[in-house]
């Protein structure tokens, strides 16, 4: 398998530079304003000039303005970014057989049948980069690897406007030296746990017994790490089904208190149910944290559930998020999926 991972460089800020070329060379910061006060909110993204000043995604706008007095601060314009993203994703899709859009500015592409080897894969990646730059004036970074995770990691290492490749015959050397913190899905907490046991690189995972690794990180994460370390990770690139209806609301203030968040969660559920014609068998609670990181918990059900039961399930999922994460929440939302008209438990008991 040969996979491309395409990451649009500092996307929101770069779009603003394209729309207003006078911004190029200046520190540009795109922000999510909460509306509570003039400068309340957080940084969504920044260009590399702003990053050199220490301005990062998730940082409070007030703090960012202290670091970059001469930076240009702009409000997020999601509709415009979505339109540009759609055009770029359309270009990317032409170069492979399967495409998986993972976010507004990232996508995986399976080119196994288009490229006989990694040399041809590199040519495809270079042509893809050229077409996007020619048509949209936007730079992207591309990672090429034998699976989705390696492709993403090597792209992250080559930002911005880069091209990184890990060929099959180089995977062992690559994982042997790769710092465990660079592996997607390994956050600060798991990094500390693993490094505390001497597992500082992905390669060292191979020298740990499965039972011990599972005790440290859980069974599913252990399987994931071992498959990556042994180059047996082969999760396919597949288009994501768009079968969820959701609603997200901004909290009155950043908080992690259940009693303060529940009214907003209830509102999100009410408005999400208004969008569907039936009863959901999947419920996901999504928390946008104070640093704009996204955490979600979900549950699949045998039968469709009505609104009151959905609130009960969602409250439990929200409680689990709060218990497992020490950050405050900024927004909360709910996504409803697998909607059915006649599969509630009540229907079966009639």
| DSSP per-residue codes, 142-199 | EEEESSHHHHHHHHHTT-SS-EEE--GGGHHHHHHH-BGGGSTT--HHHHHHHHHTT-
β-strands 245-255, 163-165: how paired? Answer: unpaired
Catalytic residue, from 16, 100, 106, 136: name it.
106
CA distances from 215 to 6, 181, 218 (A): 34, 19, 6
| DSSP per-residue codes, 250-318 | EEEEEE--HHHHHHHHHHHHHHHHTT-SSB-SEEEEEEEETTS-EEEEEEE-SSB--HHHHHHHHHHHH
Cα 155 from Cα 165, distance rounded (Å): 8
Is the separation of the CB atoms in 160 and 50 below 8 Å?
no
Cα 188 from Cα 327, distance rounded (Å): 13
- Catalytic (active site) residue 212: no
Cα 36 from Cα 43, distance rounded (Å): 15
Other residues' Cβ atoms within 10 Å of the Cβ of residue 264: 19
At 82 the three-state DSSP class reads: helix
Cα 88 from Cα 83, distance rounded (Å): 9
Residue numbers annotated as active site: 106
């Amino acid at each position: 398998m040969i996979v491309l991972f395409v990451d649009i460089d500092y996307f929101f800020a770069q779009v603003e530079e394209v729309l207003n070329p006078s911004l190029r060379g200046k520190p540009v910061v795109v922000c999510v304003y909460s509306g509570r006060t003039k400068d309340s909110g957080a940084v969504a993204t920044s260009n590399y000039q702003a990053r050199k000043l220490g301005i990062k995604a998730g940082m409070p706008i007030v703090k960012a303005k202290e670091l970059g007095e001469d930076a240009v601060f702009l409000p997020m314009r999601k509709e415009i970014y979505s339109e540009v993203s759609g055009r770029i994703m359309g270009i990317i899709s032409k170069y492979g057989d399967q495409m998986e859009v993972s976010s507004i500015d990232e996508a995986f592409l399976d080119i196994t049948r288009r490229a006989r080897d990694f040399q041809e894969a590199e040519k495809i990646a270079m042509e893809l980069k050229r077409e996007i730059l020619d048509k949209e004036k936007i730079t992207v970074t591309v990672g090429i690897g034998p699976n989705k995770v390696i492709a993403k990691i090597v792209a992250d290492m080559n930002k911005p406007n880069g091209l990184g490749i890990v060929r099959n015959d180089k995977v062992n050397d690559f994982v042997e030296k790769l710092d465990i913190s660079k592996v997607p899905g390994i956050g600060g907490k798991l990094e500390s746990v693993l490094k505390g046991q001497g597992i500082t690189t992905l390669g060292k995972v191979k020298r740990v017994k499965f039972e011990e690794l599972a005790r440290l990180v859980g069974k599913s994460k252990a399987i994931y790490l071992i498959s990556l370390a042994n180059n047996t990770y082969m999760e396919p690139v597949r288009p994501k089904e768009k079968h969820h209806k959701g609603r997200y609301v901004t909290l009155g203030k950043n908080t992690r208190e259940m009693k303060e968040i529940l009214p907003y969660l209830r509102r999100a559920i009410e408005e999400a149910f208004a969008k569907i014609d039936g009863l959901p068998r999947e419920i996901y609670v999504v928390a946008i944290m104070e640093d704009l990181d996204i955490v979600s918990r979900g549950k699949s059900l045998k039968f469709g559930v009505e609104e009151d039961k959905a609130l009960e399930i969602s409250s439990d999922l929200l409680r689990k998020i709060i218990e497992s994460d020490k950050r405050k929440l900024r927004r909360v939302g709910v996504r409803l999926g697998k909607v059915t008209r006649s599969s509630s438990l009540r229907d079966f008991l009639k």
